[in-house]
Structure 1
Amino acid sequence: MIKQSLISYRNLQCGITAAANILHRTKQLNHACLYCSTKAIDAQHITFLGAKPNFYKKDNMIRVKDDPDTFGSHSEQELFNSDDEKEEKYLQEKPLPSTKLRTKNYADLIKNFIRKRKIQEAIDVLEIKMLKEDRVKPENYIYSLLIGACGRVGYTKKAFSLFNNLKKRGLKVHPSMYTSLFNACANSPWPLSDGLTRARHLRNLIIEKMYEPNESNYNAMIKAFGRCGDIHTAFGIVDEMVSKKLPIKADTLNFLLQACISNKEAGFRHAILVWHKLIKSAISPNLFTFNLMLRCIRDCEIGDLEVTKDAIENIISTNKKSLDINQTDLIGSSSEHTTVLTLPVKCSDDNNFQDLVVPSFAENRPNLMSETPHLGNIIALSEIKTPQDRFLLVGGLSGFIDNMISYNCTPDIKTCTQILDNIPSTLAAEKELLQYMRKLDIKPDIDFFNMLIKKRSLRFDYQSAREVLTMLDTNKLRPDLVTYGVLALGCKTREEALSFKEEMNKKRYRLNIQILGAMLHQACHHNDFQYVLELMEICVRDNIKPSGKFMEKLVEFKKKNKKISNDKSNPVSDSESFKKGWKIFKMRYKSWLKEVTFDSEDEIHPWQQFREEVKTDVNHYRDRDVKTRFKPRHLSLFKQKTSKKASVRN
């Protein structure tokens, strides 16, 4: 009885289990039908008590949601597998030792790219070839080369990024790297923001590390802070050098003059003070010193009148006291009208005295750069406003050149080009400069003549500007595109512009938008409608894209003539020629805007050239055209036998 009850109980339990399984499968099927495709599913193909239905057949397009037989999602498996593949590839594909180069070879490859100004390719040698492909640990010399290259082109972001990577690798920081980083700040495209911020951060870092800068580091600091506009910090660094008894040379003061150039309001006063500090320290100025002084004279003002007057009086009085002290040592001629005095000045190199030529006090010409500075016949400093006036304060053309010769500095063509900007805009002054150039055997270049043409054209002396072309033939020089650009300033009429264009075509030059802009300036100044329309037609015929400045000039011309036409009291508005020209211009201007394509003047980022993808293969560390003393390594482990004996044996 008990056995029968147990058997019936087991049968009942099995029935309940079977019913539960059927119910569970029914729920799965109902749940699966919610995710089936649009195709109809035949109920006869699905059995409840038979084998497990094949829900993964491609024909049925059925997938059970949250299937326990599937582990993870497909996207998770792909991510997991891709990471595994990268790791496996990195571990298995190890570079062969024969493909690796020595540090010297990597350095030569980087130097070759830097020499060609291919900065991005040089950086790829480190970041791609050395670190990713060859898996070579770089040395600090490689980082020093790249930081120096980035510093010379002003790529501050990459220079400091390489410097941070160097410190993360635990490599030693060489003193030259600090110099390169400060050079990067000095050459930054944004000196007042990016350059100055990074220079201050780097100087604070040096102070925190308790690093003692050397002379080159200090010079680079002065250059960086000076060019970035922080002139007070630049002068403070010089005082720090003096306190640490580091030598102050001409290069240091030249960097101070660059700091003076950045101060447009009072840079001339600071430059005069730096000059006399140089003379007082018995430091001989070089050619760069005189060129920087000319730059200060051209670009910088004298500053506050009272402060400038006190500074000049202080300089003059100090030199008079020194002359009174050395009065007994003066050696001069016995004549009453002495023109030259000899003043013994102690040299910094040895204990001997040398004779310096000093101009006489009989001259009334002012000269603040001489050994005995004086204002001459200058009455008031308030009248000094132009570069020509400031150039007269340092002796003018003759006084400045004589001052250079007294320090054994011969002017070069760069000096003469800067003097041309500072002399009076007269034909006599230009001829005097050309005579000095012939006397000193200085050959002018095409840039000097272009500046001379521009100077004469801006004072409306177009005939003298055309005469410069004969000087080009005399000096065996060929006009370039800039020459025609400055000559275009003299094309006052439409006929002159057309003849000028034919002349350019004979020389195989093509008009550009800058030359057309110079012509448009003349056409708008003379209010010549035919001239303006002809320039607009040239843009269409020659497919020249108008620039933003060109369009601004045209819009200004249109507004001016519209104002004239609306002003009935103006007699020009009643003339038939004006009415006809204004009507034609308005009609043509609307259609012309649809025919031309404008030049998109989107500013190119200064670092864009260093961020673009390069097509140069950095694996080739040796150019075929350049001979080097390093032989390329063989990629094969076995040398190929090419001798005659080997071929006979085979």
Structure 2
Amino acid sequence: MFCPKLRMSIKLRNVIGYVNDFNHMITFNKQPRNEHLQLRWQSPISNFCTQKLPKTADIFGDISGRKFEHFKMDEREQEEEKFQDTEARIPRRLKPSPGGYAKMIKSHLSKKDLNSALKVLDLIKENRDKPTIYLYNLLLCSFAKQGDIKQCLRLYNKAKKQGLQPNAATYTTLFNACAVCDKNEIALEHLNRLRQLLYEQKFPLNETHYNIMIKAYSWHNQIVEVFKLADEMRDNNIPIRESTYNSLLHGAISDKEAGLRHSLIIWHLMRLKKVNPTLTTYNLLLRTIRDTNLGNLKLDDILISGWEKSRITLKEGERPDLLASPPVLSTLLLTKKGQEVTQDDVNSKKEIESTNLNDVLFNNRLILFGGMEGFLNRMAYCKVKPDIKTITLLLYLIPNSVQAENLLIAAADERNIELDIDFFNMLIKRRSMRFDYKAAKEVISMAEKRNLSPNVMTFGVLALGCQERREAEEFLKGMEAFGYKPNTIIMSTLIHTACHKKNFEYLLYVMIYMMKNEMRPNTQAVEEVEKFSKELSNIKKPTGKYRLRKLKRLEKNIEKFEQQYLKWQKMIEDKNNSSRN
């Protein structure tokens, strides 16, 4: 074996060197015996002589016809050799650097142009450069945000074929793609497969990996797997921090029947481990209070096994708060035949112990957690300032009354929380749904005092309050004054109200407005008017005083409607024909 720094004393009378054009060269000088030869090593040879050199090696051409052993190149080597022979090399100074390729990809991604970002990989190949795993991670991250698992897996496999080693960020991105994917079966299939692959490879999973897996399983309603992963973290001595508890709360939200029970367990575990909740924690907690139930939770249950402070206790006259340590339930919320129960009554005590807290939760969701004031005070104690999302979530949970709503707005003002137009839109809808249209209109002045301008959604919820033709007319004029054009959803809302009230004047006004402005009605509006037309014969005839006058007016309204309805149908037919063409 040759070595560059080794000088060997070769005891040969004659040494013949030869040059392999591709691989190997030996430089020699013919010298007397016992003299040293200098050998210069270039690169490993691919052809090896299988016969000894002849003794008459000084004769030119005598070694021709010698047998050499040839090693056949594999397919990739052949492609590489062909590429080297046929393609011209681009000078390094004319090609982007690895950082330059990354900037190109980021530029395309910032413009939401994923196809152009992918083409950068083709450019790298044309320039005969090798991509890095960082470049692949950039692309993976963008497709993961869209939940495009198939494209992510294509890129992942392509990177491996090019000899690139996926890193921790690569797997985090793949898990996130599974989380965002809206197809449960496909997402869970790839999620389980990827998880099993990492277990088999003994890949060191870190806190981020577990958190994103918990998120993925929770978003696909796999609450059992969520808590299994939390146990796995504990067994592997991976710290469970606030971010992990928040991921667990995400999982609890997916269980509509018992998610609130899970959330209470998670909350009290945080208190036991002295993990400080953040704004995200409180907002997720409000979501579980709004969207989930307590399952089979009963009074005197212990939320965390072995920790007495997590036992639900019943106290007379105290404000209920299941977030306290220990969690407190008030006798004021438990009634028997309309009367408050007491712990002194033996029969009442037995009934209390068997009470399912879901029955109490039904009308007291926020009250069970300290009420609006108690919840906000708890946040202040933890030095967490609520945001607009917190206030919006509380709006769903407070009593459905103007007084409670005004108290919530006042609480937001006290904490310097800027309310946006979306909050007031929700407030308008909330008041309109309980038919308090006057209070709904008052919300507009509240928004104006905060220099907030209405948007399309504002007019959409205001349309719910238009109960008469005059109100609808004022509404549409006001909308135009703000520079907005009513959409089909708004017009459908007005048509629904007019048909429901059997108000001919109102309905004809809306139909004429739509035909005049060439507005194509949506399916719901078409069905509403068609149903109204079929029920004309069933309209109750007027009775009592001025019966004949009212009957004549009804007949005239029916005649007007039938005339406009023919025009309405023709407009729909013309719109359908034009869309086909």
Counterpart residue number, 2:303: 315
Counterpart residue number, 2:482: 507
TM-score normalised over the length of structure 2:
0.74
TM-score normalised over the length of structure 1:
0.66
1:91–1:425 Cα change, 3 Å: farther
Counterpart residue number, 2:177: 184
Counterpart residue number, 1:485: 460
Counterpart residue number, 2:397: 422
In the alignment, does 2:84 pair up with 1:102? no
- Structure 2: distance between partners of 1:295 and 1:410: 17
Counterpart residue number, 2:510: 535
Per the TM alignment, residue 593 of structure 1 is displaced from its structure 2 partner at its CA by 2.8
Any idea what the Cα deviations from partners look like across 1:384-416, whole Å, max 9, x if unmatched? 465x62222111101111111121111111110
1:217–1:568 Cα change, 3 Å: same
- Structure 2: distance between partners of 1:143 and 1:169: 11
- Structure 2: distance between partners of 1:182 and 1:211: 14
1:545–1:134 Cα change, 3 Å: farther
Counterpart residue number, 1:442: 417
In the alignment, does 2:367 pair up with 1:374? no
- Structure 2: distance between partners of 1:95 and 1:511: 59
Contact 2:315 2:329 in 1 (8 A): no
- Structure 2: distance between partners of 1:218 and 1:180: 12
Aligned mate of 1:404, from 356, 361, 379? 379
Aligned mate of 2:291, from 271, 296, 299? 299
- Structure 2: distance between partners of 1:266 and 1:360: 21
- Structure 1: distance between partners of 2:378 and 2:315: 15
1:322–1:151 Cα change, 3 Å: closer
1:292–1:555 Cα change, 3 Å: farther
- Structure 2: distance between partners of 1:390 and 1:593: 49
- Structure 1: distance between partners of 2:109 and 2:93: 26
One-letter amino acid of the counterpart of residue 124, structure 2: M
Counterpart residue number, 1:594: 570
One-letter amino acid of the counterpart of residue 393, structure 2: Q
- Structure 2: distance between partners of 1:322 and 1:505: 58
* Matching of residues 135-154 of structure 1 within 5 Å: 135-154=128-147
In the alignment, does 2:226 pair up with 1:234? yes
Contact 1:155 1:188 in 2 (8 A): yes
Any idea what the Cα deviations from partners look like across 1:152-187, whole Å, max 9, x if unmatched? 232222112111111222210111111111111111
* Matching of residues 234-633 of structure 1 within 5 Å: 234-303=226-295, 307-309=296-298, 313-315=301-303, 364-376=318-330, 377-379=332-334, 380=355, 381-384=357-360, 386=362, 389-559=364-534, 561=535, 564=538, 575-596=551-572
Per the TM alignment, residue 94 of structure 1 is displaced from its structure 2 partner at its CA by 6.4
1:193–1:534 Cα change, 3 Å: farther
1:598–1:256 Cα change, 3 Å: farther
- Structure 2: distance between partners of 1:501 and 1:582: 25
Per the TM alignment, residue 568 of structure 1 is displaced from its structure 2 partner at its CA by 9.3
- Structure 1: distance between partners of 2:272 and 2:575: 58
Any idea what the Cα deviations from partners look like across 1:29-63, whole Å, max 9, x if unmatched? xxxxxxxxxxxxxxxxxxxxxxxxxxxxxxxxxxx
Contact 2:309 2:325 in 1 (8 A): no
- Structure 1: distance between partners of 2:309 and 2:123: 67
Counterpart residue number, 2:148: 155
1:564–1:270 Cα change, 3 Å: farther
One-letter amino acid of the counterpart of residue 595, structure 1: M
In the alignment, does 2:87 pair up with 1:130? no
Per the TM alignment, residue 271 of structure 1 is displaced from its structure 2 partner at its CA by 1.4
Per the TM alignment, residue 130 of structure 1 is displaced from its structure 2 partner at its CA by 2.6
One-letter amino acid of the counterpart of residue 536, structure 1: M
Any idea what the Cα deviations from partners look like across 1:271-326, whole Å, max 9, x if unmatched? 112111221121111000110111111222333xxx2216x621399765589xxx
- Structure 2: distance between partners of 1:321 and 1:397: 24
Aligned mate of 1:112, from 107, 126, 130? 107
Any idea what the Cα deviations from partners look like across 1:103-142, whole Å, max 9, x if unmatched? 101112222333343333322322x4333x4343211110
Counterpart residue number, 2:343: none
Contact 1:316 1:374 in 2 (8 A): no
Please, which moves more after superposition, 578-587 or 244-253?
578-587
1:216–1:320 Cα change, 3 Å: closer
Per the TM alignment, residue 227 of structure 1 is displaced from its structure 2 partner at its CA by 0.3
One-letter amino acid of the counterpart of residue 145, structure 2: R
Question: SS of the counterpart of 1:246?
Answer: coil
- Structure 1: distance between partners of 2:552 and 2:188: 60
Any idea what the Cα deviations from partners look like across 1:401-441, whole Å, max 9, x if unmatched? 11111211111111101111111110111111112112212
- Structure 2: distance between partners of 1:119 and 1:225: 27
Contact 1:241 1:247 in 2 (8 A): yes
Contact 1:140 1:173 in 2 (8 A): yes
Question: SS of the counterpart of 2:301?
Answer: helix
Larger RCO, structures 1/2 (Cα 8 Å, 6+ apart): 1
Contact 2:388 2:417 in 1 (8 A): yes
Question: SS of the counterpart of 1:473?
Answer: helix
1:588–1:214 Cα change, 3 Å: same
Contact 1:370 1:403 in 2 (8 A): no
One-letter amino acid of the counterpart of residue 102, structure 2: A
- Structure 2: distance between partners of 1:92 and 1:213: 43
- The CA RMSD over aligned residues, in Å, is 3.2
- Structure 1: distance between partners of 2:235 and 2:551: 77
- Structure 2: distance between partners of 1:390 and 1:439: 24
Figure out how many residues of one structure are paired with residues of the other and give that number: 469
- Structure 2's unaligned 5+ residue stretches are 1-81, 335-354
Question: SS of the counterpart of 1:389?
Answer: coil
Aligned mate of 1:121, from 95, 116, 124? 116
Contact 2:496 2:525 in 1 (8 A): no
Per the TM alignment, residue 549 of structure 1 is displaced from its structure 2 partner at its CA by 3.2
Any idea what the Cα deviations from partners look like across 1:249-285, whole Å, max 9, x if unmatched? 1111111111111122222222112111221121111
Per the TM alignment, residue 558 of structure 1 is displaced from its structure 2 partner at its CA by 4.2
Contact 1:548 1:599 in 2 (8 A): no
Contact 1:413 1:443 in 2 (8 A): yes
Question: SS of the counterpart of 2:327?
Answer: coil
